[in-house]
A and B are shown apart, each in its own frame.
Chain A
Amino acid sequence: MQSDAKKSPSAPSTKTRFWHDPAKRALVFQILLVLGVFAVLWFIVQNTLHNLESRGITTGFAFLSQEAGFGIIQSLVEYSESSSYGQTFLVGLLNTILVSALGIFFATVLGFIIGVARLSNNWLVAKLASAYVEIFRNIPLLLQIFFWYFAVLRALPSPRQSFQPFDNVFLNVRGLFMPQPMPQQGFELVWWALLIAIAGSVVLARWSKKRQDATGQLFPVYKTALALIIGLPLIVFWLSGSPLTWDEPALRGFNFRGGMTIIPELAALLVALSIYTAAFIAEIVRSGIQAVSKGQTEAASALGLSKAKVLRLVVIPQSVRVIIPPLTSQYLNLIKNSSLATAIGYPDLVSVFAGTTLNQTGQAIEVIFMTMLVYLTLSLLVSAFMNWFNTRMALVER
């Protein structure tokens, strides 16, 4: 060290030493880091292969075509005990997507309502909304799932003593049983009518925008479109002679058969996920609206715009840009939190595939890898969609 310090003034060369050049130093560190990462990975792979070999476990995805041999209480596609593990995977995947999609829908609707309610001038409404947020945000999700499942839905009466809120609708400890619509010959016309009504609404919206630009006249687009989308299929349905029958649930033995069923596991998980996530979305919506300065509302009102138009034309376009990024995170959280299904036995991907299938086959690496890949893919898809939506909204400003 000392000799080094003495040397440097006597050698006035402008050349920096290798170790004193930040660029070269950084390069060396990066090479070392990459080598280190590869070494660790290589060790893990080697170790795993060695362990698998010593325990005689064969790797590969051949197990997916083996017979699963267990039943699943809810499946959106044909499934029986003789189906393969591959079909188990599909059933689990669809159940996860079902609860996530419904959860995102209900959480968003509820969250927006509560978020706006928190800003209400009505003291009671605002306080109730605050209480909602503070309660559901601060209780662990797993406990909330348990609450809805064990304390609420498990406390319902047995099938013989079912609640019957409407004719042919039965609520009991086994779930909610409703008549199932069975489309008959000719029902396709109703679907076509719906399609035409939606297309018509799009055309109507364009026409109305053009007419407003040309003449300044406003047209009630939303109301008309709503009437069209509901009315046209109804008229077609009635004209084509109501081609629909109902498969009604009936008590046979210890349970109901026929009709549609919402199992309590789905209901509890869905309610818990929606209510929990809605509390966070409400806060995001509130902060998004509050992020738009009061001056904006004042300037817009001073121009004579009505309250609704101030919100629609000035406040919401600005707050949406603030809301979308954190909203995306909440959607991703909801999808990942849906894996808590396993705790109450809702047959989601983690429960039937990373649970039962893994236990039966012992193919831990493949099963966990596939499951992780599914969540990663779902999350990235949602994220990509929301980013696309966000850039579209952001472009409005600049």
Chain B
Amino acid sequence: MTTNTTNSAAARELNDELMVELRGVNKWYGQFHVLKDVNLEVRKGERIVICGPSGSGKSTTIRCINRLEEHQKGDIIVGGTTLNNDLKNIETIRREVGMVFQHFNLFPHLTVLENCCLAPIWVRKIPRKEAEAMAMKYLERVKIQDQALKFPGQLSGGQQQRVAIARSLCMNPQVMLFDEPTSALDPEMIKEVLDVMIELAQEGMTMICVTHEMGFAKTVADRVIFMDKGQIIEENDPHNFFNHPQSERTQLFLSQILQH
């Protein structure tokens, strides 16, 4: 199994450069302790899959990386910059970190092309012509260039999610965060989105994916992380994670989701 997956970490030379680093991150919602001492290091080009039961803090973890949620204790360092309350600092980090959401969150008042061009034009200050050319390139990569002039409401869920991925890629991010990108999709649309994500992984993009797609984790991930109750319980390469899970909690979780 490991010998076949040429993509896995063992087979690839991984850069030593740290892309994302979480050190003792804690977060509370009022009294509720959502994240308890989360430590995570993601190197450049690494693909991480985070899984776990709902409410375990996996989404919150990646939403802290681009400050959609604020952590209260610990350090988050992205591409060498430490996240703090400085707005400029946060905007700098967000420019380098792409995010794909469960519910796509495309802008309904803009066409697919305009959705992709918005940030390059207003944040990167790229001329419209160039921005549109680049957007078309990424839309082609996610195989949706024919729909460029349509509005998001006219597309299927799978198509919308592929546009959302293209929209993030237009900012040339260093890291991509995926927050359950296939959870809101019909089964037959999941594949088209996963295919795009696998292709992206093969091109060397640093990715952190919160997902329940275990097949995706097996083929693509360098490391699988299992979270429960706000803590990282187990962290291993896919082969060992799925075949020899250490903790009881992980064994239970895997037995439940792999039953069918």
Contact = CB atoms under 8 A, between A and B. Distances in A.
A216 B171 contact: no
Nearest to A298: B68
B93 to A, nearest CB: 8
| Residue from the set A213, A216, A299, A314 with the largest chain B CB neighbour count within 10 Å | A299
Nearest to A398: B151
Interface size class on chain B is: 35 or more
Contacts of B92: 304
A318 B126 contact: no
A218 interface: yes
Interface string B82-123: 000001000110110111010101111100000000110111
B129 interface: yes
Interface in B181-235: none
A179 interface: no
Contacts of A51: none
B127 A215 contact: yes
Nearest to A394: B109
A12 interface: no
A358 B172 CA distance: 74
B167 to A, nearest CB: 7
A398 B167 CA distance: 20
A314 B107 contact: yes
| Residue from the set A215, A218, A321 with the largest chain B CB neighbour count within 10 Å | A215
Interface residues of A, number: 29
B168 interface: yes
A255 B122 CA distance: 59
Contacts, number: 88
A1 interface: no
A397 B123 CA distance: 23
Contacts of B99: 299, 302
A217 B125 contact: yes
Given A213-B127, A214-B129, A218-B125, A304 B107 contact: no
A167 to B, nearest CB: 44
A309 interface: yes
A273 B124 CA distance: 46
Contacts of A321: 109
B55 interface: no
Nearest to B67: A301
| Residue from the set B105, B130, B153 with the largest chain A CB neighbour count within 10 Å | B105
A398 B118 CA distance: 18
A306 interface: yes
Contacts of A213: 127-129
A397 B118 contact: no
A215 B127 CA distance: 4
Contact of B94 (A215, A218, A301, A309): A301
| Residue from the set A298, A307, A309, A317 with the largest chain B CB neighbour count within 10 Å | A298
Given A212-B121, A216-B127, A304-B171, A299 B107 contact: yes
B86 to A, nearest CB: 13
B60 interface: no
B87 A306 contact: yes
| Residue from the set A298, A302, A305, A307 with the largest chain B CB neighbour count within 10 Å | A302
Contact of B101 (A214, A295, A305, A396): A295
| Residue from the set B106, B122, B123 with the largest chain A CB neighbour count within 10 Å | B122
A303 B94 contact: yes
A290 interface: no
A298 B105 contact: yes
25 contacts: A214-B127, A214-B128, A216-B121, A216-B126, A217-B125, A295-B103, A298-B68, A299-B101, A299-B105, A299-B164, A300-B107, A301-B68, A302-B66, A302-B98, A302-B99, A303-B94, A303-B171, A304-B95, A306-B91, A313-B118, A314-B107, A317-B109, A318-B108, A321-B109, A397-B153
Given A300-B107, A314-B107, 4 more contacts: A216-B121, A216-B128, A305-B122, A318-B107
Enumerate the 8 nearest inter-chain pairs by beta-carbon distance, A residue then B residue, closest first. A299-B105, A304-B95, A303-B119, A213-B128, A295-B105, A216-B125, A302-B99, A304-B94
